[in-house]
Amino acid sequence: MGRIIVTGGAGFIGANVVRGLNARGIDDIVVVDRLRDGAKWRNLLGLRVEDVVDKDDFRLDVREGALAADIDAVIHLGACSSTTETDADYLLDNNYRYTRELCEWCLEEGIRFVYASSAATYGDGALGYSDEDKATPGLAPLNMYGLSKHLFDLWALRRGHLDRIVGLKFFNVYGPHEDHKGDMRSVVHKAHGQVLADDRVRLFKSYRPEYPDGGQVRDFLDVRDAVDVVLWLLDRPAVNGLFNCGTGEARSWNDLAAAVFATLGREPRLDYIEMPDHLRGKYQYHTQADLAKLRRAGYDRPFTRLEDGIRDYVRDHLSQQTA
């Protein structure tokens, strides 16, 4: 395989994908990201890469046709992933237009293009979680982040590009190397810190009678499984389209907290707190990936059980950082 570009390669999923490539003996990798003075640079420790390039410099190179001709694949994971970001113009440019430019360049150059969409495109889930092409146009995201991802999915669908590229709708991913994400860290990471600080976990109250407090459910995905799906698709250029990337099983926040407590050997102690007003109308009470399309494409590997994934993450990574 020739050179691989991983945008967002110093980020959470991106850094794990680069590690997955390194484990295969692949190190001709260019990481594209925005590091500046944050802590994200720590995710590069131990990685074998050819170069690390600022995202704006890379975008300019793409526009000017200044990149080398030996690139085999672009794994485009770079984006603003904040579901609370309110700068719509920024999200449209950074998440939608940037992805369009990169996709068009890859198609012109015959480069494999794998990109990150999001389960946020499904909105409140009223229309289900089908990743079939016929279901995509009717989706209604609840926030601008979800819309910025949805707009690219729609554009690729209308142009017929989904026959030649791969998009992944990631659900709630957790695992190592998410420390830099601030409030966008997984609740696994947050819960671990809360238990160590005051021996309890704080979860949002429910404002819908069919869900108890902490009983809101999500499809929680171990980042190791996310990487496995990405690399499986990278190996299969004949498999294209938009695919869900989750476990296919919905689990509650209470389940998640219980698994953190169990791994730490402590009795569960939960506080249910008020949800901020700005989130109440934009909150997903239920997400669950429909995996039928991914399974039809040939991906038959099992996904990590929530309790097993949390045990490994807390024991082998989070607890090691605080030891």
How many folded domains does the chain comprise?
A: 2
Those residues with Cβ within 8 angstroms of residue 199's Cβ, 6 or more apart along the chain or in another chain: 266, 269
Indicate whether 82 and 181 sit together in one domain. no
What's the pLDDT at 323?
63
Q: Identify the active-site residue in 181, 190, 205, 293.
A: 181
211 is catalytic: no
Indicate whether 136 and 21 sit together in one domain. yes
Residue 214 lies in domain:
175-218+250-287+307-316
Residue 322: inside a domain: no
Indicate whether 158 and 199 sit together in one domain. no
Report residue 16 as tokens. Answer: 């794990």
Quickly tell me which residue has 């934009």 as its tokens: 282
Write out pLDDT tens, residues 17-63.
999 999 999 999 999 999 987 889 999 999 999 999 999 999 999 99
DSSP code per residue over 194-208: HHHHHS-EEEEPP-S
Indicate whether 31 and 139 sit together in one domain. yes
State which amino acid sits at residue 251: R
Indicate whether 164 and 180 sit together in one domain. no
The angle subtended at Cα 284 by Cα 280 and Cα 285, nearest 5°, is 95
Residue 260: inside a domain: yes
Write out pLDDT tens, residues 95-107.
999 999 999 999 9
DSSP code per residue over 10-32: TSHHHHHHHHHHHHTT---EEEE
What's the pLDDT at 62?
94
What's the pLDDT at 266?
97
CATH of the domain at 38: 3.40.50.720
What's the pLDDT at 48?
98
Indicate whether 71 and 161 sit together in one domain. yes
**Alpha-carbon gap, residue 319 to 174, rounded angstroms:** 15
Indicate whether 259 and 140 sit together in one domain. no
Residue 323: inside a domain: no
Indicate whether 197 and 262 sit together in one domain. yes
Indicate whether 35 and 102 sit together in one domain. yes
Quick one: average pLDDT of 162-187? 96
DSSP 161: G
205 is catalytic: no
Residue 62: inside a domain: yes
Residue 321: inside a domain: no
Write out pLDDT tens, residues 135-173.
999 999 999 999 999 999 999 999 999 999 999 999 999
Residue 121: inside a domain: yes
Q: Is the pLDDT of residue 187 over 90?
A: yes
Full-model pTM: 0.96
The angle subtended at Cα 44 by Cα 38 and Cα 47, nearest 5°, is 180
**Alpha-carbon gap, residue 271 to 35, rounded angstroms:** 36
The angle subtended at Cα 13 by Cα 177 and Cα 298, nearest 5°, is 140
Indicate whether 91 and 108 sit together in one domain. yes
State which amino acid sits at residue 41: W
The angle subtended at Cα 268 by Cα 263 and Cα 273, nearest 5°, is 120
Residue 276: inside a domain: yes
According to the 3-state scheme, what is the secondary structure of 219-274?
Answer: CEEEHHHHHHHHHHHHCCCCCCEEEEECCCCCEEHHHHHHHHHHHHCCCCCEEEEC
CATH of the domain at 194: 3.90.25.10
What's the pLDDT at 1?
72
Indicate whether 92 and 32 sit together in one domain. yes
Specify burial of residue 285 (Cβ count, 10 A radius: 0-12, 13-18, 19+): middle
Indicate whether 183 and 105 sit together in one domain. no
Q: What does pLDDT average to over the chain?
A: 96
Q: Identify the active-site residue in 129, 145, 174, 313.
A: 145
